[in-house]
Amino acid sequence: MKTKVVFCFWALFLLGFQDCCEGWLLASSKPDRDNAAAYARWLVSHNSWGVLNTLSIELEGAPFGNVVSFSDGIADKSTGIPYFYLTTLDPTARNALKDHRSSLTISEYPLQTCGKADPENPACAKITLTGKLVLLDANSKESEFAQAALFSKHPEMKGWPKSHEFQIFKLETENIFMINWFGGPKPLTVEEYLKYKM
Amino acid sequence: MKTKVVFCFWALFLLGFQDCCEGWLLASSKPDRDNAAAYARWLVSHNSWGVLNTLSIELEGAPFGNVVSFSDGIADKSTGIPYFYLTTLDPTARNALKDHRSSLTISEYPLQTCGKADPENPACAKITLTGKLVLLDANSKESEFAQAALFSKHPEMKGWPKSHEFQIFKLETENIFMINWFGGPKPLTVEEYLKYKM
């Protein structure tokens, strides 16, 4: 009985340690908040999901957000370009094929690196990349890289049903809106963002 | 020394217990996935933040997603109506005052109740409420209720700077897109959603 209790406590401790300290370890890798390019790239490369927004065909042009997984690279090769694995069974891909205008919104909150700050508090960073959501040519080098990027971050994607005809899309960013502290959005050009070396 | 190590282990254990088991406890309260209204209301009332989409004035009508906090009620009085505390210093409120079309997107993923499922896996639920984002009359009964709902879920809002002139908005939902399992979006009318008693 005592052995079981001790085992249970240790299992909980280890599980707990993993949960509580991942955020803590990640927080220690956060770039200086005044380095906008570094912060934006950190936010994008450490998150695995966000909300991808398109103009709805079915809802008369309404802005339609959808939870999606993404990846901007493979280990040690982050690009800042978000790649997606989408099917036209879902409205987002259908909307993008009709009108490319799109944005991807990511919060720092789920990384558990915001301390006690509310998700809407500027001390908890958020970023919106706005641009064009485009389908990649399935035979291109970029598509090969994007697939490796997606499958390494989201291993279960490899097994997703072939019948759903998933295709790889990317967001071509044209504008960046990022708040990572008080004082309004941080000035950051797309060039500065893409050029930054992680 | 030994006392310090033991104390540190216990502190980590307790922190960890809180982190690891909140999701587990919440998961046990999940409604049956075939009860679409119950599931949608559970998802909205248990989340505290999401991505609020509007049509961008500055970016030529692009769909612009923004991380926001919200609340749909006070303890034991969830309404299914998301209320927001926004300032026109932020583009979302400015966009909404020009064109009400909007959507709020919420994921089950940050609740830590999806087990091992990827955020894009249909086993990890997501919901998008599409409709009109409207400003509440500050002197109305609804505004009073909405403020109590927001401040009880996001206590730090009470102290947000008066100079920012935060105002209360609500999303008047007209369409619901929810995926909470395989087989496509769950049929769910706004009436069924709003009528459901938690």
Could you give the percent of chain A with pLDDT greater than 90?
84
pLDDT tens per residue, range A112-168: 999 999 999 999 999 999 999 999 999 999 999 999 999 999 999 999 999 999 999
Q: Do A79 and A142 share a domain, yes or no?
A: yes
Sequence-ordered alpha helix ranges (H) in A65-187:
91-98, 141-153
- Residue B180's Cβ-side half-sphere holds a number of Cα atoms within 13 Å equal to 26
Which chain A residues have a beta carbon less than 8 Å from that of B62? Answer: 101-103, 130
Q: Domain check: are B39 and B7 in the same one? A: no
> Which of B70, B105, B127, B174 is the best mutation test for A, with the most CBs of A within 10 A?
B105
CATH number at residue B103: 2.30.110.10
Average pLDDT over residues B162-178: 97
pLDDT at B25: 78
Q: Which of A20, A104, A118 comes nearest B154 by C-beta? A: A118
pLDDT at B10 over 90: no
Q: Is the pLDDT of residue B7 over 90?
A: no
pLDDT in tens, A100-112: 999 999 999 999 9
The DSSP bridge pattern shows strands A101-107 and B101-107 to be unpaired
Instruction: Judge if B21 and B74 occupy the same domain.
Output: no
- When pLDDT is cut at 50, 70 and 90, the band that residue A66 belongs to is very high
Residue B132 forms contact with A (CB below 8 Å): no
Q: Are residues B66 and B51 in the same domain?
A: yes
On whether any CB of chain B is under 8 Å from the CB of A122, the answer is: no
A93 shares a domain with A40: yes
Q: Are residues A118 and A138 in the same domain?
A: yes
Mean pLDDT for chain A overall: 92
Between A1 and A188, the more confident residue is A188
Residues B91 and B165 in one domain: yes
Domain check: are B60 and B25 in the same one?
Answer: no
Q: Say if A121 is an interface residue toward chain B (CB within 8 Å).
A: yes
Residues A132 and A182 in one domain: yes
Q: Answer yes or no: do B118 and B162 share one domain.
A: yes
Q: How many structural domains comprise chain B?
A: 2
Using the Cβ of B128 and the Cβ atoms of chain A, whether some distance falls under 8 Å is answered with yes
What ipTM, to 2 d.p.?
0.91
Q: Which two tokens stand for residue A141?
A: 């080098």
Q: What is the pLDDT of residue A28?
A: 80
Residues in A 168-187 with any Cβ partner in B closer than 8 A? 175, 177, 184
Residues of chain A with Cβ-Cβ distance to B126 below 8 Å are 66-67
pLDDT at B4 over 70: no
Nearest to A20 among B16, B64, B118 (CB): B16
Contacts of B44 in chain A (CB under 8 A): none
Tell me if residue B54 falls in helix, strand or coil: strand
Whether the CB of A13 is below 8 Å from some CB of chain B: the reply is yes
Domain residue limits at B72: 32-195
> Which has the higher per-residue pLDDT, B16 or A133?
A133
Handedness of CA B12, B15, B21, B23 (dihedral sign): negative
Q: What is the pLDDT of residue A4?
A: 53
Q: Are residues B17 and B59 in the same domain?
A: no
In a shared domain, residues A3 and A74: no
Q: Is the pLDDT of residue B184 over 60?
A: yes
**Ramachandran assignment for A107, one of left (phi > 0), alpha (psi -120 to 50 degrees), beta (any other):** beta
C-alpha A182/C-alpha B90 separation (Å) is: 12
